[in-house]
Structure 1
C-alpha cells in the first residue's frame, strides 16, 4: 500500500434529518440544511457544515424502503483507498464482506464493506473537487472541535481486527491502556498520528462496530445539550489521558455517538 488510509468522510444515516440537524446543531454547533438535495435515485443527502465554513461529513436520510430492509440510524466512516475494486477483492479474500457493491458517484467511487468480524465502513477513491488539487481531507482532527477526533472499534476479535486493518489500510498499533476485566484498549496510528483504538466487544455493543467521537468546545455544555435536545446519555463524561473528557450518547433518532472535549467549568 502506497500510504496509510485516512478517514476522509463521516456519514450519519438517520430517519429524521431535520431532527438530527436540531440535535447536532445544539450539541456540536454544526449547520445541517433544513432541506436536503435530491441526489441520484432521489436520495436525500445533506452536508454537515462547520463554523469555519468547511464540511464535517454528510447526512443520509433513511427512506421507508431502507428502514424496511433493515437499515438503522448510525454513523459510518469512509476510508480512502487507491482502488476500490482491488480493495474489495482483498477484503473478501480475508473474510470480510460487501454490503453495498462499488458504485461511481460524482465525488468518487465508493463501496460499503464489513471487516471479518462484521464491523461496517465505506471505502472510497475520491475525486477532488474542481480546482482543489490533491489536498488531505480535514474531517478528522486530533484536536479540533466540530470534527471527529477519535475512531474506536469494538470487536469480537481485537487481534484479528488489528491485523486486518494493518494489512489492508497500513495502520500501526502501538500502546494500550489496561481496562481490567474488560481487556486492553489498544491504540492505532496512521503514520505518527494516533487516530483511535481497538477494544473488545462489551455489554452495550451487540455487534462489532466503529464508534466516532466528535469534538465539542465544552463537554459539560455538550452533556446538557444532549439531554435538553432529546438525546440519551449512555456514559457520563470520563477524564481521558491528556485531561479532556469523553462521553457516549444516543441521538434522538437512535444513532450511537461519542463526544470529546475540555471541561471549562
Structure 2
C-alpha cells in the first residue's frame, strides 16, 4: 500500500486543563505550541522541530457527558469518511460521533473497532495528508500500540479495513501474542489482547525522545506517574509508559537510556 489510506496522520489530546497539559508535554517531549485558530473553543497545535504533531483541547461537553476522560486519540486517513462508516459497522465497529467538518481542515468521525479501540477516521480538505517527518525524529510519534479485547480479531479487522500488513509477531507467554503491522510507510505498531487488569481497550502512542532516563526524570518533575518501565524491547530500543498529571496514558520510546 503506497498511498495514505490507513496511515496515522494526526493525534489529539483531550483533558481537563488545557494550559497544564500543554506545559507538561512541552517540558517532557519538547513540543512547542501555538493557537490553532478555532473560533468555538481553545485549541493548541503542538509541533516538534517545526513539524505539527497534533492538537490539544479541553474535553468537549458532549464527550464528557458520554464519560470521556483525559486521553490521546489518533486520526487515521481514509478516502471518504462517510463511505467508510457502513463498512466499519458491518465489521462490528461503532460510531460515537457522526461525520463532521472542520472548516478548511477536513472531515472526521469518532469510531471504535470491533474490539473497543477508539480512533478517528479522517480525510483532509486538501486531498492528501502532509508528508511525514523523518522516522524517529524527537517529538514525533514513533509507535502505535493497541491493547484490546481480542488481539487476533482486531488485527484482522485493521488489515481488512485499512490494508495494513503483518510484519511479524512475538509470543509473550501469559501476555499472549504481539502482532506487528505496517501501514505503507514502514513498520508502525503492534496489537495485543489487553491484560485482565486493564479495564478497557485503548490505543497507546509512543513519542520519540533522544534518551529515556532524562525524559523519565522530566515526567517525575512535572508530577507525572510511571506506569511501566523503563524496559528494553526487541530491536534495542527503550520504552516507558506513564500517566500525565490529568490521568492520560502515554508512552515514550528512545534508542538509549
TM-score scaled to structure 2, two decimals?
A: 0.92
Q: Secondary structure at the match of 1:32?
A: strand
Matches within 5 A, 1:1-265: 3=3, 4-33=5-34, 36=35, 39-40=38-39, 42-50=40-48, 52-63=49-60, 66-106=63-103, 107-128=105-126, 134=128, 136-138=130-132, 142-191=135-184, 193-263=186-256
- Distance of aligned partners of 1:63 and 1:160 in 2 relative to their CA distance in 1, 3 Å threshold: closer
- Distance of aligned partners of 1:204 and 1:138 in 2 relative to their CA distance in 1, 3 Å threshold: farther
Shift of 1:255: 0.6
For 2:60 and 2:159, the matched residues in 1 are separated by 35
- Distance of aligned partners of 1:231 and 1:238 in 2 relative to their CA distance in 1, 3 Å threshold: same
The answer to whether the 8 Å contact 1:15/1:63 transfers is no
Shift of 1:134: 4.2
- Distance of aligned partners of 1:203 and 1:232 in 2 relative to their CA distance in 1, 3 Å threshold: farther
Gaps of 5+ in 2: none
TM-score scaled to structure 1, two decimals?
A: 0.90
The answer to whether the 8 Å contact 1:84/1:111 transfers is yes
The answer to whether the 8 Å contact 1:103/1:109 transfers is yes
Gaps of 5+ in 1: none
For 2:54 and 2:6, the matched residues in 1 are separated by 17
- Distance of aligned partners of 1:192 and 1:135 in 2 relative to their CA distance in 1, 3 Å threshold: closer
For 1:116 and 1:179, the matched residues in 2 are separated by 23
Aligned residues: 255
